[in-house]
Amino acid sequence: MKMKNILFLLLAAFALISCETVWDEPFSTSAELPDSEGYYQTTAGDFILKYKVIENNMLACRLSGNGTGWIAVGFDPSAQMRDANFIIGYVAGIYGVIRDDFGTSSTSHNADTSLGGTNDVLLISNSETAGRTMLEFELPLDSGDAKDKPLSVGNTYNVIFAAGSEDDVDSMHNRIASGSILIR
C-alpha cells in the first residue's frame, strides 16, 4: 500500500514538473479580454472605464464612479493633469452634462472651447443609480483639435480619474485614481 502511494506521488510530481511551462505563461485577466459587448475595462479605485473602438474611428466609453457629483477621465496626461484630454460630467435629475476639457497645468484644466478648441465629446446616456454615477460617451480617436490628444489603436495610454461631490465641473475633486488603457 505504501509503495502504491509513493508511486502515485512520484507520478503526480512528474506531471506537475512536465507542465511547468504552463505555469510560467501569463494568464489573461478579464481586463485583457472584451466583455460580451466588446468593451475592454480598466479599474482604478472605485472608477471603472469601459471602452472600445467603434466605426468612424470613435472611442465609445462608459465611465462610472461612486458618488452623485461629477466624474472625469483624463487621457494621456504628460505630468499629473497637464496636457490630458479630460472628459468630465455629471447627472442632474434625468439630464446629463458633459464637457471636453484640456489639462492646462499639472493642477488645472479648462473647457476646450474656452481655450480656442472644440467640444468633441458626445454624451450617449447617463445615470445615477445606488449612489453611483455613469456617463456613456463617444469621442474621436483623433479630432484634429489641438486641445485633444490623438489616440491610436495598438498604443497604451495613461488615464487619470477624478470625482467631485457636486454637480459642478469647476468644483474641486475629492477622489483621484490612475490607470492605463490599451486601445484595441
Residues 144-166: pLDDT tens digits? 999 999 999 999 999 999 999 99
Q: What spatial distance separates the first Cα and last Cα of the chain, rounded to whole Å?
A: 57
Q: Taking the CB of residue 36, how many other CB atoms lie within 10 A of it?
A: 5
Domain limits at 93?
A: 28-182
Report the CATH number at residue 80. 2.60.40.1210
Number of folded domains that form the chain? 1
Q: How far apart are CA 122 and CA 58, in angstroms?
A: 10
Q: Is the pTM of this model over 0.85?
A: no
Q: Taking the CB of residue 145, how many other CB atoms lie within 10 A of it?
A: 20
**Is residue 171 included in any domain, yes or no?**
yes
**Is residue 157 included in any domain, yes or no?**
yes
**Is residue 14 included in any domain, yes or no?**
no
**Is residue 91 included in any domain, yes or no?**
yes
Q: Taking the CB of residue 137, how many other CB atoms lie within 10 A of it?
A: 22
- Give me the pLDDT at residue 24, please: 32
**Is residue 40 included in any domain, yes or no?**
yes
Share of the chain above pLDDT 90, in %: 80
**Is residue 69 included in any domain, yes or no?**
yes
**Is residue 53 included in any domain, yes or no?**
yes
Q: How confident is the model at residue 68 (pLDDT cuts 50, 70, 90)?
A: very high
**Is residue 16 included in any domain, yes or no?**
no
Mean pLDDT score, 83-93 = 96
Tens-digit pLDDT profile for residues 18-67: 443 333 333 323 358 999 999 999 999 999 999 999 999 999 999 999 99
Q: Reply yes or no on whether the pLDDT at 92 is more than 70.
A: yes
Q: Reply yes or no on whether the pLDDT at 116 is more than 50.
A: yes
Q: How far apart are CA 165 and CA 98, in angstroms?
A: 16
Computed over every residue of the chain, the mean pLDDT equals 87
